[in-house]
Amino acid sequence: MKTTAAVATAAETPLTLTEVDIDELRPDELRVRMVASGVCHTDAIVRDQWYPTPLPAVLGHEGAGVVEEVGAGVVDFAPGDRVLLSYSTCGHCRACMEGAPAYCKDFFSLNFGGRRTDGSSAFTRDDEQVSSHFFGQSSFAALANVPVRCAVKVGADAPLETLAPLGCGIQTGAGAVLNVLRPEPGATVVVFGAGAVGLSAVMAAKVARAGTIIAVDMHEDRLRLSE
């Protein structure tokens, strides 16, 4: 099967919109038709090889879409389900079992390795492997084979174009405040940088009932959004 993807081919080089082949689903995967994807700074630095994901690669890790097909072992999802996507984890290491999947012992290989654990990639182009499964999803493709652990089902009326950044930027900023900082009610919280992650931290501080929330940024439009 063929699909369209934005492929990173070299550092500091624009992505190439091209056709690639997508392979067969594994038993624990969903085939997702992407409706929306955020664009994160991590996509840029991986393209530029700050992290050693093999190029060429299909990046993207703030995906949201609709399930088109499910693998033979999938029981909790069905074609037509709307899903948000996030990072991949093993599901059985100590961190995963204790509810801290962001600290999965295999986090780096699963999310930056560009291959499944068996060494295969979901994408090829002209018989050349193209790295897939970036953060478990490679959402810069029209279709992606996604491990079921990366998907969260949402309502049929969920605005996927709006919710897609939940997969990375929003959960990073909000998670840092709610799960790590844990401000007491009435506390003062200062957030340096009011981009997607910083503004998510601001919103989480509000949810946590911080008393004074200060956003610091050089861009007036971002500061207005933080109010």
Q: What's the CATH code of the domain at 213?
A: 3.40.50.720
**Inter-residue contact 217 to 223 (CB < 8 Å):** yes
pLDDT at 167: 87
DSSP 8-state assignment for residue 10: S
The pair phi, psi for residue 177, each rounded to 5°, is -75, -50
d(CA 32, CA 156): 15
Within this chain, do residues 152 and 177 fall inside the same structural domain, yes or no? no
pLDDT at 110: 97
Residue range of the domain that includes 146: 2-164
Looking at the structure of the chain, the number of domains it has is: 2
Q: What is the pLDDT of residues 85-133, one digit of tens each?
A: 999 999 999 999 999 999 999 999 999 999 999 999 999 999 899 999 9
Residue 49: count of CB within 10 angstroms of its CB = 14
**Across residues 57-63, what is the average pLDDT?**
97
**Inter-residue contact 80 to 33 (CB < 8 Å):** no
Alpha-carbon Rg of the chain, whole angstroms? Answer: 18
What is the residue type of 93? C
DSSP 8-state assignment for residue 138: -
Q: What is the pLDDT of residues 148-162, one digit of tens each?
A: 999 999 999 999 999
d(CA 201, CA 9): 33
Within this chain, do residues 134 and 25 fall inside the same structural domain, yes or no? yes
Within this chain, do residues 124 and 217 fall inside the same structural domain, yes or no? no
**Inter-residue contact 23 to 135 (CB < 8 Å):** no
User: Domain boundary residue among 147, 164, 181?
Assistant: 164
What is the residue type of 77? F
Burial class (CB in 10 A: 0-12, 13-18, 19+), 92: exposed
The pair phi, psi for residue 53, each rounded to 5°, is -65, 125
Instruction: Kindly state the tokens that stand for 150.
Output: 């990366």
The pair phi, psi for residue 189, each rounded to 5°, is -125, 130
Within this chain, do residues 72 and 102 fall inside the same structural domain, yes or no? yes
Average pLDDT over the chain, rounded to an integer? 96
Within this chain, do residues 49 and 156 fall inside the same structural domain, yes or no? yes
Within this chain, do residues 49 and 22 fall inside the same structural domain, yes or no? yes
pLDDT at 217: 96
Q: What is the pLDDT of residues 190-227, one digit of tens each?
A: 999 999 999 999 999 999 999 999 999 999 999 999 98
d(CA 10, CA 154): 35
The CATH number of residue 125's host domain is 3.90.180.10
Within this chain, do residues 37 and 119 fall inside the same structural domain, yes or no? yes
